[in-house]
Amino acid sequence: MEKVVDAINAVISGSHFLPDALSNNSQPPVSSGPGPLPDLDLERVMSALTDRQLDIFRMIGQGKSNKVIALERELSDNTIKVHVSAILRALELKNRTQIGLLAQKLGLINDN
């Protein structure tokens, strides 16, 4: 109960309160970034993806959201999500950030 009172008093006085469980620095961070990129070359990426997936791959590399990609390609948000999932699976990537980083690494970023 004493910690609750301390927390309330800290907030009332304009200070901050951080519970001990959150201030313990021995906990690993929740996210440590996108993770390492697999060793993929341009030929492997181009052969693993359909033309549509490659187009979406490039657009993700340009930093475009699913919604923007859907609008620009006149497709549904859900269709874009399906393509993103297929790209992740085909290239054995873990997340969208890795798609963007790989597209940039391979020089697949253009203004189209």
Rounded Cα distance between 51 and 8, Å, is 58
Percentage, residues of the chain above pLDDT 70: 73
- Tell me the pLDDT tens digit for each residue of 10-40: 667 666 666 666 655 555 555 556 666 767 7
HSE (side-chain half, CA atoms, 13 Å) at 91: 33
What angle, rounded to 10 degrees, do the helices at 96-105 and 77-91 form? Answer: 70
**Average pLDDT value for residue range 40-60:** 92
Is pTM beyond 0.85? Reply is: no
Question: Nearest 5 degrees, angle CA 37-CA 79-CA 60?
Answer: 35
For the stretch 56-78, pLDDT in tens is 999 999 999 999 999 999 999 99
- Report pLDDT for 78: 97
> Do residues 36 and 96 lie in contact, with contact meaning Cβ atoms separated by under 8 Å?
no
Is the CATH number of domain 42-105 1.10.10.10?
Answer: yes
